[in-house]
């Protein structure tokens, strides 16, 4: 086996991994920072699940994506910010001066949107910051990067809003974690707690879901509620 150890060879392998339409579509889709299953990505890439699996395996070999098993699902996501950085470098070339991939999405996506199953966009980030400022959540232990602990006050507050924390904790997934929002470049609340918050916001009609996109519309009622309850003007 001929081991290549020159930088240009390493670059070419990585670029080749990106340079296949189906794989590029997957990576581009994952640039919003959240994980997706191989089936979801096969739809995005417009290939069969079998083909998507092969592609994802290759991307994993090249350290472009990482995978996290969760029950019978396997969630794929970009393996680090450097990967997003490299993709952005390429997109600068791709788009000429009109780069900036995220702003190319409708601007309403920036205000509020779903990120897999939780609340993202400017609203998601604002809430995240507010929850921290109010002392409802706090950064978890060092060894569990990005995880959040719920404080006693936070538990009471979320319960008061109508979220069943005990049941949320019982779900087989990370309870609460920092999910990096690519357009905002700042984290919002992900995990089971994030999902519960989105569910609540939808149930209470603070936001309404766009059927064929990840965009969320904030209702006037929701705007008032968020201002009153969290002191946030959105």
Other CB atoms within 10 A of residue 118 CB = 24
Among 9, 10, 11, 50, binds DNA (CB under 7 A): 50
Q: How far apart are CA 93 and CA 153, in angstroms?
A: 49
Min dist. Cβ of residue 161 to DNA (A) = 23
State in angstroms the smallest separation of the CB of 96 from a second copy. 8
Dist CA 134 CA 78 (whole Å): 31
Closer residue to a second copy (CB): 45 or 150:
45
Quickly list DSSP for 43-76: HHHTS-HHHHHHHHHHHHHTTSEEEEEETTEEEE
Residue ranges that bind a second copy, judged by CB under 8 A: 7-21, 23-25, 27-29, 62-64, 82-83, 85-95, 101, 104
Please state, in angstroms and rounded to a whole number, the distance separating the CA atoms of residues 192 and 160.
17
Among 54, 111, 147, 208, binds DNA (CB under 7 A): 54
DSSP string, 203-234: HTTSEEE-TTSSBEEEPHHHHHHHHHHH----
Bridge-based pairing state of the strands 137-139 and 118-120: unpaired
Can residue 72 be called a binding residue for DNA (CB under 7 A)? Answer: yes
Of a second copy, DNA, none, which one does residue 47 interact with (CB within 5 to 8 Å by kind)? DNA
The minimum distance between CB 108 and DNA, in angstroms, equals 28
Work out how close the CB of 52 gets to DNA at its nearest, in angstroms, rounded to a whole number: 6
Closest CA to 173 of 154, 195, 152: 195
Residue 68 interacts with which of a second copy, DNA, none, CB < 5 to 8 Å by class: none
User: Which CB atom, from 73 or from 199, has the smaller least distance to DNA?
Assistant: 73
Q: How far is the CB of 155 from DNA (least distance, A)?
A: 22
d(CA 189, CA 132): 10
What minimum distance in Å lies between the beta carbon of 90 and a second copy? 5
Nearest-angstrom CA–CA distance, 100 and 92: 7
Number of residues that bind DNA (CB under 7 A): 27
- Binds 55: which of a second copy, DNA, none (CB < 5-8 Å by kind): DNA
Q: Which residues bind DNA (CB under 7 A)?
A: 16, 20-22, 37-40, 47-58, 67, 71-74, 171-172
């Amino acid at each position: 086996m001929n081991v290549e150890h020159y930088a240009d060879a390493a670059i070419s392998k990585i670029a080749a991994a990106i340079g296949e339409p189906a794989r590029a579509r997957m990576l581009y889709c994952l640039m919003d920072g959240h994980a997706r299953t191989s089936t979801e990505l096969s739809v995005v890439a417009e290939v069969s699940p079998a083909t998507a699996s092969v592609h994802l395996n290759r991307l994993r070999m090249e350290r472009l994506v990482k995978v996290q098993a969760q029950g019978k699902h396997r969630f794929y996501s970009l393996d680090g910010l450097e990967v997003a950085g490299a993709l952005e470098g390429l997109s600068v070339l791709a788009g000429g001066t009109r780069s900036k991939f995220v702003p190319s999405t409708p601007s309403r996506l920036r205000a509020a949107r779903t990120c897999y199953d939780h609340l993202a966009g400017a609203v998601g980030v604002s809430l995240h910051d507010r929850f921290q400022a109010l002392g409802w959540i706090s950064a978890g232990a060092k060894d569990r990067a990005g995880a959040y602990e719920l404080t006693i006050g936070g538990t009471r507050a979320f319960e008061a809003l109508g979220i069943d924390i005990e049941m949320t904790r019982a779900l087989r997934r990370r309870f609460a974690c920092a999910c990096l929002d690519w357009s905002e470049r700042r984290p919002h609340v992900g995990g089971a707690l994030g999902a519960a918050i989105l569910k609540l916001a939808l149930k209470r009609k603070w936001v309404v879901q766009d059927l064929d996109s990840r965009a969320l519309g904030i209702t006037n009622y929701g705007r008032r509620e968020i201002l009153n309850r969290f002191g946030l003007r959105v």
